[in-house]
Amino acid sequence: MDDVLENCLRGRKWAWDAFVDRYAGVIFAAVGRVLGRGRDRTEEAEDVAQDVFVRLVRNDFALLRRYDPDRSSITTWLTIVSRSVAIDHLRRRRLQAVSLDDAPPTTAPPEPQTPSTPTAEHPMELLTARQKLVLQLIYDRDMDPEAVGRVLGISAQTVRSTKHKALQRLREYYEKEGPP
Amino acid sequence: MSEREDKLGCRLWREYAARRTSVPGGPEIAPNLLAAYLDGKADPEAVERIEARMAEDPDLLEAVLEFRRLQDFPTPPAPPAVATRAKSLVVPAVQVPHAVIAAAGRWWQKLQWAAAAAVIIVAGLGGYSFGGDTFLARQTAEQRAAAQVTGEIEDLISEPDLSVTGQANGSQEGQS
């Protein structure tokens, strides 16, 4: 484990200061991307970033101790944690913004949606998760194979191959069942 | 792939996507696991699980996309206030040099022994004093008692008509 991080967990002030200097930018950037731009958003992002640091320190660094250096870099882990805290903050802000007068009347909770079940028209496992992701990113997000590859951590060639196989499956299925 | 084939592919995908009714299920992906995926260190089973979730959960997919965007650009420094506030969360503990602690430890040990010895001595003296007082008190009482008896005997002996035989001179008048 990194020397700074190790001494941080021992409560050493100098290590904590070094940790803050090293990763404040990462945390603030991750929080800022979730909250959006604008002057008032900067102050809000500062508050949410502080919330991230508070959560890292709380209960003798309980959250920070959960970081596993064998599985990922600290930068990646902090980005995910910071993003999660920012999203929680957004949710709380939206809840607070709804006044009692504007709140919708109490209704029965929605029926829990069941996972998709195979039907005669549409088998669930027609495409693999990766195939769905590739098509989704290419056609819904308008991303090129190189960009898709960066998202999924695979090569652009693998993206093209996956796309080809996915479309082939869809084509065969719809040729059998009838054109869409 | 030609433009025509690509348009067809897009139609096929849109048709398929429109008829999907699955919803994201299962527990949240833990930060350590998601971080491993993003850093390319997740095992194949975890990759499949995460990608299955990404395909159904727009929020998770957006999180991954956001992370990749952050990776593409250098991280700007945070405003100084962010670091200042964060640093104040941990205060410095009183740092005592190890040599001082070791020396204090030796002195403390000596102090403890000295205190124990003092307690023993005081207890001993106190006990002696207490016992002595008791003994003296008892001896004095005995002496007084003895002196009292002696005094009574002397009083008896010093009675004017009392001979050694203890018979008083006037004691036989009634006998003649």
Domain boundaries, chain A: 3-97, 124-177
**CB-based contact (8 Å) between A80 and chain B?**
yes
Handedness of CA A175, A176, A180, B1 (dihedral sign): negative
Q: How far is CA B75 from the centre of its chain?
A: 43
Predicted pLDDT at B26: 64
As a whole-number percent, the residues of chain B with pLDDT over 90 amount to 26
Contacts of B85 in chain A (CB under 8 A): 46, 50, 53
Is A54 within 8 Å of B89 (Cβ atoms)? Answer: yes
- The answer to whether domain A124-177 has CATH 2.40.180.10 is no
B142 occurs within a structural domain: yes
Contacts of A151 in chain B (CB under 8 A): 64-65, 68
Task: Please report which confidence band the pLDDT of residue A122 belongs to, taking 50, 70 and 90 as the band edges.
Answer: low
Predicted pLDDT at B92: 83
Task: Please report which confidence band the pLDDT of residue B43 belongs to, taking 50, 70 and 90 as the band edges.
Answer: very high
Predicted pLDDT at B95: 59
Domain range enclosing B46: 3-73
Predicted pLDDT at A162: 96
Predicted pLDDT at B175: 40
Do both B67 and B20 map to the same domain? yes
B56 occurs within a structural domain: yes
Contacts of B25 in chain A (CB under 8 A): 115
Mean pLDDT in residue range B124-143:
65
The mean predicted confidence, pLDDT, of chain A is 85
Contact A83 B66 (CB under 8 A): yes
Task: Please report which confidence band the pLDDT of residue B41 belongs to, taking 50, 70 and 90 as the band edges.
Answer: very high
Predicted pLDDT at A120: 43
Is A127 within 8 Å of B55 (Cβ atoms)? Answer: no
Predicted pLDDT at B21: 65
Mean pLDDT in residue range A83-96:
89
Looking at residue B171, its amino acid is S
Do both B62 and B7 map to the same domain? yes
Contacts of B33 in chain A (CB under 8 A): 71
Contact B89 A163 (CB under 8 A): no
The answer to whether residue B167 scores a pLDDT higher than 50 is: no
**Interface probe, candidates A14, A20, A158, chain B, greatest B C-beta count within 10 A:** A20
Interacting residues of A82 by C-beta distance below 8 A, sequence separation 6+: A26, A27, A30, A31, A49, A52
Task: Report the residue of chain A nearest B52, measured CA to CA.
Answer: A129
Fold identical between A3-97 and A124-177?
no
Query: Any idea which architecture A3-97 has in CATH?
Result: Orthogonal Bundle (1.10)
Predicted pLDDT at B108: 73
Backbone torsions φ then ψ of B162, nearest 5 degrees? -105, 110
Interacting residues of B150 by C-beta distance below 8 A, sequence separation 6+: none
Mean pLDDT in residue range A56-70:
94
**From A28, A68, A136, residue closest to B55, measured CB to CB:** A136
Lowest mean pLDDT among A43-52, A133-142, B7-16, B103-112: B103-112
The answer to whether residue B171 scores a pLDDT higher than 50 is: no
Is A127 within 8 Å of A169 (Cβ atoms)? Answer: yes
